[in-house]
Structure 1
Amino acid sequence: MTNELSFKEKFHSWRGKYFPERQLFLRSEGRVRFLTIGSYTQIAMSTALSGFLIWGSITTYAYLTRDLKLEEKNKTISTMSNQYQSLSSDFSALEVEVERRTKQLEERQKFLEEMAKKTGVVVDESTSLEVSDQEPQTIVPRNDEEKTSSLFQELLGSKPAAATEVATNIDRRKSLLTRLENAEAQQRNFATAMLAKLQADSSFIQETLKPTKLTTEDILTHMDGNADTYGMGGPYVPETGFSAVFEATDHKTFDDLNNEWLRLEMVTNALDSFPVGKPAEKYYVSSKFGRRRDPLKKTWANHPGLDLAGWPGTAIYATAPGKVVHAGWFGPYGRMVEIEHGNGFKTRYGHMRKLRVKKGEEVTVGTRVGDMGKTGRVTGTHLHYEIWFNGKVRDPAPFLKAANNVLKIQGRDEETSE
């Protein structure tokens, strides 16, 4: 109670000090009037005036700062708009890049699948072209076209429908680009493996031809160049060739693979004209190619062929497919058959007692062209067998030794064995 009275006393003291009762003197028409304003009235008026001033200050401040807030909001909206435009532009560029690289990898995939068939690479059907974040490993392409393109379909999936999806889709495209890089590395590993196989095949051909003193360059140089003489074909290659996808030189392996295959294909086609057959049914070598004592003059002379002796009438066969360009008497050769095989090769069969083909006739390997005899300049029954390449006579012995390997290169070794 004491505290309450004390507070009242303090309040009344404060009121009496700051808001004492005041009188206003009003003079009008010679009369003076008094208007008394009590302390409580003064307090009420002061409170109202203070509240008005505070409200006015707040209102004025809000009005003055409204433009600043609007400008800040506009800046925020502009920044967000620019960020969206940047993201949208990045997304569009990234999507174009994904589509471009996807198309290139699809073309490489098609090329690899065809090359796998043409090079004879054994493809495990259970093995597929998988794309993961793991280290790339040597793979083989799968045969299921729908499964093969599943990754590419995913990469070319639907575009974002709303702005909020742009950033998410950019991350997704970047992730898919990483997977594309892994797929490209896997394709390159497989192409490298096939290239190694083709190079090994080329080396095998070089070793096979070595005893004959011919090279693959010789074979390619003297190809007929007539597309009608052999089948045309090859793996799918884009019109503009292969181009880099991720690295400046990552297309080189595919170009090398295609060039090596084309070169090997041309050499193999040219070797279809290589004499691989047995020139006679049964024989023994009675005189080799090169320098020897002439059997008639008994002086040293050059022998431009291989003499294969046997029984009279022994069958004589064409050793490669071709066209008979001579069938008849030919001076010291007696009855002779000459066959043009194409690609720089031709063969001659001399001293026969009977001819079984005519000029202009087409023959295949094993076609009987005549019977062994002793016509012309001879001392006994035998076949004089010559092989010519690029207008020069060659020693037939290395060709006979290389025949089995050439048959393997031609893919006819199994047919011959049967």
Structure 2
Amino acid sequence: MRTRLAIKIHAFLERIFPERRLFLKSDTDTRFIRLRPETQLIAYAGVTVVVAWAIVATAILLMDSIGSGNFREQAKRDQMTYQERLNALSGERDARAEEALAAQARFNAALDQISVMQSELLESETRRRELETGIDVIQSTLRNTMKDREAARDALTQLEAQNQDDATVHHVAASAPVQMTFMADALERTAQQRDQVISDAQSALDQRDELELEIRLMREQNDQIFRQLEEAMTISVEPLDKMFRNAGMPTDRIIEQVRRGYSGQGGPLTPLSLSTRGEEPSADEARANQLLRQMDQLNLYRIAAEKAPFASPVRAAVRYTSGFGYRRDPKTGGRRMHNGSDFAGPHGTDIFATADGVVTHAGWQSGFGRLVRIQHAFGIETLYAHNTRIRVKKGQRVSRGDHIADMGSTGRSTGTHLHYEVRVNGRPVNPMIYIKAARNVF
């Protein structure tokens, strides 16, 4: 039975939605469909819901379209900003590369100049010793000449004293004219010898002054050469030392390790020694030995720099899409640690080794896709992941700048990019530390 509440609700609905009949007529029959108030209410509510849903869906689509348009515009602006930044970085990189080439040319010129200056230094040192020997001989001759001159003066004094005795002279002249003639000749020869000795002594003094001036000029020239070489060594070594320290690599330990590894090929240069009498080296010899040690240290720095990843794995225009550290995972959306740096670029972009080393893995690895792993010196290891093609084999020895792979999107990846890692003794470190440390050097 219908309750009173149901009857009242029906009466209320009937006032709003009176009962209607829908007639369906055919040739032989006529039928109708009865539309009760409840049925009309349900139909009205359904139509209202459908219309409201259509309005809300249309509004959502419009808002999403507007938001997508804004996002695309923002993305385009960001892309233009990144492109301008990449162009600026590319220009800066080219400038640094030109500076590095110029520095390398200056260094090679300095090495050539060092060789020439070393030869000149040896020749000047030999010349200086010859001049010192000549000065000693001249001084010895001058002393002997001075002695002869003093002896001649004594003889002349004695003769003059004898001439003062007129009586004796007349007596001698009267009694021995031959002896008097001999004495006059002897006095004349003595006077000529005295004049010659004085002239030779003056010439020797003048020659000594000239030799001393030549030695002083030669020493000043050598000092200038040493200063130029010392400045060149300082300018060449300091940037390399700063580069290693900025990368957190202890230079003393690194240099000692390279020296041990190259003891038969790149060891210390032989010190310069010009003395054969067991004497202490002179100031010039000490400065020359110091320059040779600095040249050896510069060579060790150069070898060490080739063995550490102080280079970028890509040279083309790429986008730096993700750095080292915690980030939002592109697959799951959760917070996860990212152990490397991502460089996005065109499919097939060339990827290069960042340092000398040995390939320890060249193939597929879960998550990394096609992976190249290179073991370097000092416990450093680099990884190049998500490649589309690998161009090296396991066990192959590679050098900095060798083409090792092509950029792709294999493994756990959302698009074409290179995932680049640097590990020190198995612990991941930020690769940009090494790349930025060498930015103003290479």
TM (norm. structure 1) is 0.52
Which one of 281, 286, 308 corresponds to residue 343 of structure 2? 308
Partner of 2:364: 329
Letter in 2 for 1:120: A
Listed one character per residue, the Cα deviations across residues 87-133 of structure 1 (whole Å, up to 9, x for unaligned) are xxxxxxxxxxxxxxxxxxxxxxxxxxxxx9977178599xx9xxxxx
Partner of 1:132: none
Shift in Å at residue 349 of structure 1?
0.6
Shift in Å at residue 267 of structure 1?
1.1
Partner of 1:47: none
1:96-107 map, 5 Å: none
- Asked if 1:284 corresponds to 2:319, the answer is yes
Shift in Å at residue 234 of structure 1?
3.8
Contact 1:212-1:395 at 8 Å conserved across structures? no
Partner of 1:379: 414
Shift in Å at residue 359 of structure 1?
0.7
1:175-214 map, 5 Å: 183=218, 186-209=221-244, 211-214=246-249
Letter in 1 for 2:110: G
Shift in Å at residue 312 of structure 1?
3.3
Shift in Å at residue 287 of structure 1?
0.7
Shift in Å at residue 210 of structure 1?
5.3
Paired residue secondary structure (1:332) = coil
- Asked if 1:320 corresponds to 2:297, the answer is no
Partner of 2:60: none
Listed one character per residue, the Cα deviations across residues 258-297 of structure 1 (whole Å, up to 9, x for unaligned) are 3333222211221122335542345311111122223334
Which one has a larger percent helix, Structure 1 or Structure 2? Answer: 2
- Aligned mates of 1:372, 1:162 — CA distance in 2: 81
Alignment CA distance shift 1:261-1:350 (3 Å): same
Letter in 2 for 1:374: S
Partner of 1:363: 398
Alignment CA distance shift 1:325-1:179 (3 Å): same
Which one of 108, 128, 132 corresponds to residue 155 of structure 1? 132
Alignment CA distance shift 1:185-1:224 (3 Å): closer
Listed one character per residue, the Cα deviations across residues 26-48 of structure 1 (whole Å, up to 9, x for unaligned) are xxxxxxxxxxxxxxxxxxxxxxx
- Aligned mates of 2:307, 2:411 — CA distance in 1: 28
- Aligned mates of 1:200, 1:389 — CA distance in 2: 29
Contact 1:188-1:253 at 8 Å conserved across structures? no
- Asked if 1:347 corresponds to 2:382, the answer is yes
Which one of 257, 261, 270 corresponds to residue 295 of structure 2? 261
Partner of 2:110: 120
Listed one character per residue, the Cα deviations across residues 144-170 of structure 1 (whole Å, up to 9, x for unaligned) are 97677433333345986998666579x
Alignment CA distance shift 1:195-1:235 (3 Å): farther
- Aligned mates of 2:240, 2:111 — CA distance in 1: 18
Partner of 1:7: none
Q: Over aligned residue pairs, what C-alpha RMSD do you find?
A: 4.6
Alignment CA distance shift 1:338-1:224 (3 Å): farther
Alignment CA distance shift 1:190-1:314 (3 Å): closer
- Aligned mates of 2:262, 2:416 — CA distance in 1: 41
Contact 1:322-1:363 at 8 Å conserved across structures? yes
Letter in 1 for 2:408: G
Contact 1:276-1:406 at 8 Å conserved across structures? no
- Aligned mates of 2:350, 2:221 — CA distance in 1: 56
Shift in Å at residue 352 of structure 1?
1.8
Contact 2:245-2:251 at 8 Å conserved across structures? no
- Aligned mates of 1:371, 1:161 — CA distance in 2: 78
Shift in Å at residue 142 of structure 1?
6.8
Alignment CA distance shift 1:341-1:245 (3 Å): closer
Give the share of equivalent positions with the same residue, in percent: 28
Letter in 1 for 2:338: H
- Aligned mates of 2:284, 2:227 — CA distance in 1: 11
- Aligned mates of 2:107, 2:389 — CA distance in 1: 46
- Asked if 1:225 corresponds to 2:260, the answer is yes
Paired residue secondary structure (1:258) = helix
- Stretches of structure 1 that go unaligned for 5 or more consecutive residues are 1-115, 129-139, 408-418
Alignment CA distance shift 1:319-1:187 (3 Å): same
- Aligned mates of 2:114, 2:304 — CA distance in 1: 32
- Aligned mates of 1:401, 1:365 — CA distance in 2: 17
Shift in Å at residue 306 of structure 1?
0.7
TM (norm. structure 2) is 0.49
- Aligned mates of 1:360, 1:301 — CA distance in 2: 33
Partner of 2:333: 298
Listed one character per residue, the Cα deviations across residues 63-88 of structure 1 (whole Å, up to 9, x for unaligned) are xxxxxxxxxxxxxxxxxxxxxxxxxx
Contact 1:291-1:301 at 8 Å conserved across structures? yes
Counting matched residue pairs gives 277
- Stretches of structure 2 that go unaligned for 5 or more consecutive residues are 1-105, 147-203
Paired residue secondary structure (1:353) = strand
Shift in Å at residue 309 of structure 1?
1.7
Which one of 289, 308, 311 corresponds to residue 274 of structure 1? 308
